[in-house]
Amino acid sequence: MQRTLLLLIIFTVCVACEPTIQGSPDRFKTGVFEVPAVNGMSKSRIIRKDSIQIEKYTKLTEVTTDSGVFVKKEQKIDTFYIQWKNHFFYTARMKSPKTEIDKEPMFYQITKITKNSYDFSMRIGYSEFRQTGTVTKIDE
């Protein structure tokens, strides 16, 4: 009897402490998104439809010449195939990889959801490289 009561109390505490999620994460599978600037990249704009993601950004490269140091801006567009494993995990593969690292899949895990954004943790291939960030939905 005591064991049953103890299990019932543990179950009640676990259910009561479960975090609440604001809305369905399905709303992040399609739409227009923005990612803040990081590591020599400008703010990115992402358009995601079905299993395709198009990412537009400006790559910033520092160029040193005899005249001084300049920042070269280069417009980039990358296309990815997206495969959702569940509501909180998806894999992105570059459609036209240009380098060996581009051939590796990118594994994304959604770690936190708010009204119009989500935080993520990303790993490239099976490497130790990890990146975290926030994606904000700006349009359907």
Q: How far apart are CA 102 and CA 79, in angstroms?
A: 11
Q: How far apart are CA 68 and CA 48, in angstroms?
A: 40
Asked whether residue 112 is assigned to any structural domain, the reply reads yes
Asked whether residue 76 is assigned to any structural domain, the reply reads yes
- What does the block give as tokens for 61? 């490269």
Q: How far apart are CA 9 and CA 6, in angstroms?
A: 5
pTM exceeding the 0.85 threshold for the entire prediction? no
* Mean pLDDT of the region 108-128: 93
Asked whether residue 16 is assigned to any structural domain, the reply reads no
At residue 85, does pLDDT exceed 60?
yes
CATH of the domain at 107: 2.40.128
Asked whether residue 54 is assigned to any structural domain, the reply reads yes
Alpha-carbon Rg of the chain, whole angstroms?
20
pLDDT band of 10, cuts 50, 70, 90:
low
SS3 46: strand
How many structural domains comprise the chain? 1
- Residue 16's pLDDT is 46
pLDDT band of 3, cuts 50, 70, 90:
low
- Residue 9's pLDDT is 52
Supply the range of the domain harboring residue 84. Answer: 23-139
Biggest CA–CA distance in the chain, Å, is 84
Check: CB of residue 129 under 8 Å from CB of residue 108.
no
